């Protein structure tokens, strides 16, 4: 049969251990409250960050669309300007060719006059 003094000692030790476990559980519950608040704050911060990233992504995409549209307009203007320049150069070339033909006629007339004067 177990010694009653030993049983008493073991019972006292067991009660002390139960009290320690209860105290630790209570402390853990108390520590869990701030942890839950921190986790909730983290979730809110993360959600805010996601909203901001999405807003920035939309703004960047909108700028990309605007920039592409502007480049399209610049390309169209450049194409029109290039066509106008080709037309202008063709007109200028025609006028210069006409002027050269006229000058050639003048040279031929002068040569004819000079030959007639020398004879």
Tens-digit pLDDT profile for residues 62-80: 999 999 999 999 999 999 9
For 39, the token pair is 């986790």
What confidence score (pLDDT) does residue 8 get? 84
Residue 4: is its pLDDT beyond 80?
no
Select the more confidently predicted residue: 105 or 33. Answer: 105
How far is residue 105's CA from residue 111's CA, in Å, rounded to a whole number? Answer: 10
What confidence score (pLDDT) does residue 111 get? 93
Q: pTM of the prediction? A: 0.47
Residue 1: is its pLDDT beyond 70?
no
Residue 116: is its pLDDT beyond 80?
yes
Torsion of CA 39, 45, 51, 54, to 10 degrees: -90
Residue 28: is its pLDDT beyond 90?
no
How far is residue 87's CA from residue 93's CA, in Å, rounded to a whole number? Answer: 10
What confidence score (pLDDT) does residue 2 get? 66
């Amino acid at each position: 049969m177990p010694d009653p003094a030993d049983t008493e000692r073991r019972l006292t030790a067991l009660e002390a251990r139960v009290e320690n476990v209860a105290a630790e559980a209570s402390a853990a519950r108390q520590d869990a409250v701030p942890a839950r608040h921190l986790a909730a704050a983290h979730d809110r911060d993360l959600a805010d960050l996601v909203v901001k990233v999405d807003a920035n992504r939309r703004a960047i995409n909108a700028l990309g669309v605007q920039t592409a549209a502007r480049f399209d307009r610049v390309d169209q203007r450049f194409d029109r300007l290039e066509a106008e320049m080709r037309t202008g150069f063709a007109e200028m070339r025609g006028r210069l060719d006409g002027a050269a033909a006229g000058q050639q006629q003048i040279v031929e007339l002068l040569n004819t006059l000079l030959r007639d004067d020398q004879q």
